[in-house]
Amino acid sequence: MSTSSTAFFSILKRDLILAYRHRSELINPLLFFIIVVSLFPLAISPESKELRMIAPGVIWVAALLAAMLSLDNLFRSDFEDGSLEQLALTTHALPLLVLAKVCAHWLVTGLPLILLAPLLGVLLFLPAESMLTLVLTLTLGTPILSLVGAIGVALTVGLRRGGILLSLLVLPLYIPVLIFASNAVTVAGSGFPVAGQLYFLAALLTLSLTLSPFATAAALRISLS
């Protein structure tokens, strides 16, 4: 195994262990996701027809907000204890180390959202035809949320109250993912093909994987300078 690969998996393992030690911080976004989706039947109507219509948008908006809720922890603790500066000064490529941290973030936030989404889909009477599409869109979309969100976190990590600024930076970039993902789930419930929407999400994921680590690394250097 090469030195770069060793560094990647070391950072990934370290962040997963730290996340496990702070399990309470991981539960908050998941509880937020569950609570937001569960409130809609109470606020709108318990009728299955109405809930089925809004289910794709509700689940995706809740997942997006839950992912944003966990973004601030991506670099904050490393910035406060000085280990982020050590990562920037290491001989290893900073974009690769950033990618490892983003992967760890997705494993502890995005993956649980994917696992919970079908259960909440049942709560909102989402058609069975849409369940697989919902899982596929979340599988393609949640990594994009983490990768794009990492850029905003890197730009605001040095600010004491950067949460509002982070939202203003990141939310406009999330809109295409939200539109195409929720539309794919809705269209799948009507029996129409959704390959176009899935290809678009896959293209966005490829673009994010290619560019986000470098943009995040550059933003971290700016914040640390």
Predicted confidence at residue 1, as pLDDT, reads 53
Average pLDDT rounded to a whole number, residues 175-194: 92
At residue 161 the predicted structure's pLDDT band, cuts being 50, 70 and 90, is: low
Q: Cα–Cα–Cα angle for 11, 107, 95, nearest 5°?
A: 40
What radius of gyration, in Å, describes the C-alpha atoms of the chain? 18
**What is the percent of the chain with per-residue pLDDT over 70, rounded to a whole number?**
98
Q: Residue 207: count other Cβ atoms within 10 Å of its Cβ.
A: 13
Question: How far is the C-alpha of 178 from the C-alpha of 15, rounded, in Å?
Answer: 28
Predicted confidence at residue 77, as pLDDT, reads 78
For residue 67, the number of C-alpha atoms closer than 13 Å in the C-beta half-sphere is 32
Q: Which of 58-62, 133-137, 160-164, 220-224 has the weakest average pLDDT?
A: 160-164
At residue 162 the predicted structure's pLDDT band, cuts being 50, 70 and 90, is: low
CB distance 143 to 110 below 8 Å: yes
At residue 19 the predicted structure's pLDDT band, cuts being 50, 70 and 90, is: confident
Average pLDDT rounded to a whole number, residues 147-171: 83
Predicted confidence at residue 205, as pLDDT, reads 96
Give yes or no for residue 164 having a pLDDT over 90.
no
Give yes or no for residue 195 having a pLDDT over 60.
yes
DSSP string, 92-139: S-HHHHHHHHHHHHIIIIIHHHHHHHHHHHHHTT--HHHHHHHHHHHH
- List for the chain the helix, strand, coil content (%; round to 5): 85, 0, 15
Element (H, E) at 22: none
The per-residue pLDDT for range 67-116, each reduced to its tens digit, is 888 887 788 778 877 788 888 888 788 899 999 999 999 999 999 999 99
Average pLDDT rounded to a whole number, residues 15-32: 84
At residue 190 the predicted structure's pLDDT band, cuts being 50, 70 and 90, is: confident
